[in-house]
Amino acid sequence: MTATSTLKSRSGNQVINNNDAEVSTTKSHKKLTNSFQNSDDSAGNNSRSMVTLIFISLLFDLLAFTMILPLMPSLLEHYRQNDSSGLYNLLTQRIHWFQQLVGAPERYTSVLYGGFLGSMFSFLQFVASPIVGGLSDYYGRKPLMLLCASGIALSYLLWAFSSNFALFVLARLVGGISKGNISLCMSIITDVSSVKTRAFGMALVGVAFSVGFIAGPTIGALFARSLNKSVGSWYLAPSLCAFAFALCDLGIIAFGLKETLPKEKRVKEISSAMSYAIQLLDVRSIFKFSAIKKVSKAEMFALRKIGLIYFLYLFLYSGLEFTVTFLMYHKFGYNSMEQAKMFLMTGVVMAIL
């Protein structure tokens, strides 16, 4: 064999080997691409299932929470006549002092009671939410979700046995402290969603609120319409219904929710998590958005402006949420069913917008 033929033979073998290598590389690349696609599809399916589960959990929670809204005027009237603890009369004295200070008419005493209970509930939620969030950064989301859901269920059980006003206020206290589940739901959606799908998850939270405000007050009003309020424990049926909704929520979290914050992504020390949570309790740092770093001055200015506008909106809306039932009851004589229709219309408008 000549040198030329030997060179051609070697060159041909090298081409064949190179072609084989290219085919092998292409196959490996396709396998890797398919693997990534399957991984993305699996992650996407997991994200959608978790967001759906959070939506259902929130829906049960909000149905139980909004059931009491059309019943609140009747409940306070009941405790005004039947309170054995003396707390109602004690608070009445304090409220009369405030009425004289602002010049509010006597007939609006129960409206101020509703404002007091609503403010107490919201204040406790404000305190509990960042603390619960900080603890979830250390212990994980699921344990804190279970703790919040258990506390909420306990609050409705206390309501069922609230034979006096002091027990009813205690039930509201426990419920307010346990309301950190709303912020946890937001955190879970952030954990499992990408930047592209996060907006859809947050939109579902809004839908849950809308459906809750449509159906919850209606269920409460149906109870109020069918029950004899002259009976001492007429509130037992709606409170047990709210308790049943809370148990459904607890079951969904216990058996359906998976941990979304892996251990390697959690904070290493609980002290750092709690220091961040305490920082969020400082009203000045909240409005300054001190917790947010690495943004330009223009972005920070826009963020603070939007935050202030959103605060003013929520400030007015939250006050309306807890006092409008009393206002409609005293000013226009709305019964529980008419108030449920009002909340129904409000929920429909919320869902549309």
- How many domains does the chain divide into? 1
pTM (2 decimals)?
Answer: 0.79
Residue 312 domain-assigned (yes or no): yes
Alpha carbon 66 to chain centroid, angstroms: 13
The string of pLDDT tens digits covering residues 84-142 is: 888 988 888 888 888 888 777 777 777 787 788 888 888 899 889 999 999 999 999 99
User: Which CATH number belongs to the domain containing residue 288 in this structure?
Assistant: 1.20.1250.20
Q: Is 34 inside a domain boundary?
A: no
* Assigned domain for 10 exists: no
30 in a structural domain: no
Calpha distance 141→253 (Å, rounded): 10
* Closest to 113 measured CA to CA, from 167, 76, 156, 168: 76
> Token match 């064949």: residue?
16
Interatomic CA distance for residues 348 and 338, integer angstroms? 15
Distance of CA 87 to the CA centre of its chain: 31
In a domain, 21, yes or no: no
Domain for residue 40, yes or no?
no
Domain that holds residue 135: 49-352
pLDDT tens, residue by residue, 18-59 = 445 444 444 544 444 444 344 444 455 678 889 999 999 999
Question: Does residue 300 belong to any structural domain of this protein?
Answer: yes
- Let me know if residue 11 belongs to a domain: no
